[in-house]
Structure 1
Amino acid sequence: MRLTKIIATIGPACNSEEKIRQMIQGGMDVARLNFSHGTHEEHLGALQTIRTASEQLGHPVAVMQDLCGPKIRVGELKSDSVELKPGGLLRIVREAVVGDNNSISCTYPEIVDDVKEGDRILLNDGLIELQAIGKTRDYLDCKVINGGPLKPHKGINLPGVKISAPSITEKDRRDLEWGIENKVDYMALSFVRRADDIEELKELLRSRGSAIHTVAKIEKPEAIEHIEEIVQAADVIMIARGDMGVEMHVEEVPAIQKRLITLCTRFNKPVIVATQMLESMIENAAPTRAEVSDIANAILDGTDAVMLSGETSIGRHPLRALAMMAHVARRTEESMKGELPRERRLVLGDTQDFGHLIAYSVAHLARRLGVKLVIGFTASGRTVRLLSKRRMTVPILGASTGADVVRKMCLYRGVAPLRTERFTDSELMFKKGAALAVENNLAEKGDDVVFVAGLPLGASATNTLRLEHL
């Protein structure tokens, strides 16, 4: 069983019933719906296809809604592309206009207020660089430092500029209502700057009675300044290296990635490494060696999941990209089997939390006694998440009566999530767990397994660890 989870973005290249079925069969654990593109109707069609295919195949898949956030984009242009030449001038105007190579507008009119003379303005993922040289109330005058072709709707980044826009835009609020209504499993917030941004999102979800889990996308310098508070506030962290590599110096990204993975381990939060993992496969049928090494090193560092973006949403080879990522992950995990796994222990101190203590104990049992499987019965998924963050080399069967909990566990490293019936007898529950393990080829007769559960049945917390020979 592959332990590292794979998130794949749904888009025009794969948004068909046949392709989505093939992606689920090929290893997609979480389907990402990118609300920077597409309509509610298009996303609803994709969501329904995912849910139907998942049920028919008997393979749970989580759905992540990725909110656009205050992403700034170039407005409409008079042609498909305009050429900006180094040394030339470009005016960014507050009023919405159809632009050309002399002046453009953008989706954030307040750019004129926020940018100061001397600030850098990056277009098209940083390929084009401008410098503000003057401003009035109605426009910014900029000098082109690095030129190139500019197309409509390309992204604009303002490194070092304090943006006055709220983290949750009006569009996000409309999209959030869609996500609640359609019961997505995860909701990702873009351009998180501080923990308050995540708390605001959580409060919006709570006020509508939603149990959707939050994902904080880390891509701005302000987020790094408040990173511990953000990690503690969010349910999941995504290291969004695309905008991060534009907002900050690109050479800083590897060290930030390693730091965030370690921090998420410390706080027992799932972490995703995202963006450009197999970028060349948008066009090519095979990856570069550097891309393969990038995936492997993220796994060796301790990521819980890796993500495909344009590779599956708009790429020419979505299924090949998914298969390649699964293959690299599996091979990397095999290479780690002969070594002691990286230590993922808690600093226990005086904690009285049984969930933490049991996860810690199970990890040591698995290592010392050579157990083949851990079976966790969970009502909320918390205990299975804690077990997952111990980074054991054996799989975890996460069993729950709740369909939403089962789907959420699809993101947890090393977890095979399965739905089970509600039990009134604990011995019957353990017996059924063993049968599920054998039926799903996770264990076989003669194996030692560890059960983790809350007893008596209905207990609100995990308090029981049981070692059994099948």
Structure 2
Amino acid sequence: MSRKTKLIVTLGPATETPEMIGKLIDGGANVIRLNMSHAPHEWAAEMTRRVRRESEKRDAHIAVLFDLTGPSIRTGDLAENFDLKEGDKVEFRRADVEPSIPLSTTVNYPGLMGDVTEGNTLVVDNGALLMLIERVADDRIICDVRTPGTMGSRRHINLPGVRLNLPALTEKDHKDLALAVECGADYIAGSFVRDAAHVRELREAMEALEGEAQIVAKVEDQEAVRNIDAIIKISDVIMIARGDLGIEVDFEDLPILQRRIVKRCHELGTRVIVATQLLESMITNPTPTRAEVTDVMNAAYEEADSLMLSGETSVGRYPERCVDAIVKIASRIERSGGHGFGANVILRDERQKTARAAVTLADSLPDARFIVLTRRGVLANHIALMRPRTNAFYAFTPKETVCRQLSLTRGIRAFRLGFSTNIEETIERATEELRKLDLVKPGTPIVIVSDILSDHFAANSILLHHA
């Protein structure tokens, strides 16, 4: 695997068949995302089974990510779309009250009226419509339309800069979470995470169901940005969800925030995903725009662990071409180097200091290979966050779940291998596996790092071995 940057693809009507799932995996997808905002339970369960089957056919460790809807605010159902012009008045009201003006719809969050004030900006449908809140009552708000456009049913509402007193998990989220655990999800993403307590609540709810998934915190609003350090520290992975975040903050600040969050994730030792609209034009076009190529290049140059495709693969016309484009762009920029944020990792314990020493050793040896022996994947993730220069970075673990959870981590190729009580035997079997795949040659230097205990190999140890 020459490409270090991992790829997450979203399944949908365009990619739900076993054949297409197989093609996405063959093309370079590492993680399959199921967007629970649009996924019926039977469909999500069947997609999980299909991903597992297609992965097994290829002896590939492909993770499944269940992306929860989160506490989003949406408009109600409309008999007909509203065709709005500048200056129109639109009412958003509680579901239990009657309209007071012709252009009126309900909202699914009855606490909205208590959170907003006159003069706040209200954004509908990911920026398609901008409105100004003119009047706030106990049961409704009246807005002035500032940009013309069409408003349909169940459109998403953003309120930039407004602190919303929404719950961390909705009733739907709890049901979707139970399904994710039942399906053996490898990752569960919490949407609209605003502070560390929200991440903790999601993790505790999952563990109460005896789930073992890792938690992805989606950063989507200004409050999450203000609490970013605490969120990073408690999460397994951060997702920079640029769709909602780009609405919540001034658009010229978004690239700066992206870079700042990626850098901080490196420093604090948490993996990071860059998501949303990477190849948006390819939903309908066979090639990316030059701006999109530059955007993807920039995220890969920042050395994010994973990049994510959403509508491009779920409903787009050219899902395979999208995967191919990401792979080509990421692979090309990786040959030019990266930002080097891995040098800024804050070393807090002995394990991280061992990881740093191992990376320094491997980087100093021409054509070195890197092997990590790990039971839970923790040490492998620590090493990956330091961004070793080698393209040959392999993790061996007895657990299939750990192999899949490492599929999101930049630069690692994971192998399942039972560990012997004799560490030399384990090393020899790992080396033999790489020989069979022609990944090492006789005499190749191999830096081996372990966080497992054995008779001859202490935890957090480094060994220099030759194939």
C-alpha separation between the residues in 2 aligned to 1:107 and 1:52?
38
How far residue 372 of structure 1 moved from its aligned partner, in angstroms, is 2.9
CA contact (8 A) 1:82 1:101 kept: no
Please show how residues 391-430 of structure 1 align to structure 2 within 5 Å: 391-394=387-390, 395-430=392-427
CA contact (8 A) 1:383 1:462 kept: no
Alignment partner of 1:465 is 2:462:
yes
C-alpha separation between the residues in 2 aligned to 1:182 and 1:97?
40
CA contact (8 A) 1:454 1:460 kept: no
How far residue 135 of structure 1 moved from its aligned partner, in angstroms, is 2.7
How far residue 340 of structure 1 moved from its aligned partner, in angstroms, is 9.8
Residues 416 and 101 from structure 1, CA distance in 2 versus in 1: closer, same or farther, beyond 3 angstroms? farther
Aligned to 1:200: 201
Aligned to 2:185: 184
Residues 54 and 139 from structure 1, CA distance in 2 versus in 1: closer, same or farther, beyond 3 angstroms? same
User: Could you say what secondary structure the match of 2:15 adopts?
Assistant: coil
Aligned to 1:256: 257
Question: What code does the residue aligned with 1:57 have?
Answer: R
C-alpha separation between the residues in 1 aligned to 2:314 and 2:455?
42
Unaligned runs of 5+ in 2: none
CA contact (8 A) 2:373 2:452 kept: no
Alignment partner of 1:383 is 2:379:
yes
How far residue 158 of structure 1 moved from its aligned partner, in angstroms, is 1.1
C-alpha separation between the residues in 2 aligned to 1:96 and 1:468?
71
The partner residue of 1:442 within 439, 448, 451 is 439
How far residue 452 of structure 1 moved from its aligned partner, in angstroms, is 1.1
CA contact (8 A) 2:374 2:452 kept: no
C-alpha separation between the residues in 1 aligned to 2:219 and 2:457?
33
How far residue 402 of structure 1 moved from its aligned partner, in angstroms, is 0.8
Q: Which runs of 4+ in 1 moved over 4 A?
A: 96-101, 339-343, 458-461
How far residue 97 of structure 1 moved from its aligned partner, in angstroms, is 8.9
User: Could you say what secondary structure the match of 2:110 adopts?
Assistant: coil
User: Could you say what secondary structure the match of 1:107 adopts?
Assistant: coil
User: Could you say what secondary structure the match of 2:343 adopts?
Assistant: coil
Residues 231 and 458 from structure 1, CA distance in 2 versus in 1: closer, same or farther, beyond 3 angstroms? farther
How far residue 446 of structure 1 moved from its aligned partner, in angstroms, is 3.0
When the two structures are superposed, what TM-score results if normalisation uses the length of structure 2?
Answer: 0.95
C-alpha separation between the residues in 1 aligned to 2:111 and 2:410?
41
C-alpha separation between the residues in 2 aligned to 1:258 and 1:469?
38
User: Could you say what secondary structure the match of 1:117 adopts?
Assistant: coil
Alignment partner of 1:333 is 2:334:
yes
How far residue 460 of structure 1 moved from its aligned partner, in angstroms, is 11
Residues 197 and 299 from structure 1, CA distance in 2 versus in 1: closer, same or farther, beyond 3 angstroms? same
How far residue 424 of structure 1 moved from its aligned partner, in angstroms, is 2.1
> Which moved further from structure 2: 294-303 or 353-362?
353-362
C-alpha separation between the residues in 1 aligned to 2:140 and 2:182?
40
User: Could you say what secondary structure the match of 2:335 adopts?
Assistant: helix
C-alpha separation between the residues in 2 aligned to 1:233 and 1:185?
17
When the two structures are superposed, what TM-score results if normalisation uses the length of structure 1?
Answer: 0.94
Residues 347 and 422 from structure 1, CA distance in 2 versus in 1: closer, same or farther, beyond 3 angstroms? closer
How far residue 343 of structure 1 moved from its aligned partner, in angstroms, is 5.1
User: Could you say what secondary structure the match of 1:146 adopts?
Assistant: coil
The partner residue of 2:365 within 369, 386, 396 is 369
C-alpha separation between the residues in 2 aligned to 1:340 and 1:311?
27
User: Could you say what secondary structure the match of 2:33 adopts?
Assistant: strand
How far residue 137 of structure 1 moved from its aligned partner, in angstroms, is 2.4
C-alpha separation between the residues in 1 aligned to 2:422 and 2:433?
17
User: Could you say what secondary structure the match of 2:162 adopts?
Assistant: coil
Question: What code does the residue aligned with 1:392 have?
Answer: P
C-alpha separation between the residues in 2 aligned to 1:316 and 1:225?
38
Unaligned runs of 5+ in 1: none
Q: Percent identity?
A: 35
Alignment partner of 1:27 is 2:16:
no
Question: What code does the residue aligned with 2:91 have?
Answer: R
C-alpha separation between the residues in 2 aligned to 1:235 and 1:409?
11
C-alpha separation between the residues in 2 aligned to 1:139 and 1:222?
24
C-alpha separation between the residues in 2 aligned to 1:245 and 1:125?
9
User: Could you say what secondary structure the match of 1:199 adopts?
Assistant: helix
> Which moved further from structure 2: 360-369 or 95-104?
95-104
Alignment partner of 1:90 is 2:110:
no
Question: What code does the residue aligned with 1:435 have?
Answer: E
Residues 261 and 341 from structure 1, CA distance in 2 versus in 1: closer, same or farther, beyond 3 angstroms? closer
Aligned to 2:430: 433
CA contact (8 A) 2:422 2:456 kept: no
CA contact (8 A) 2:263 2:341 kept: no
CA RMSD of aligned residues (A): 2.0
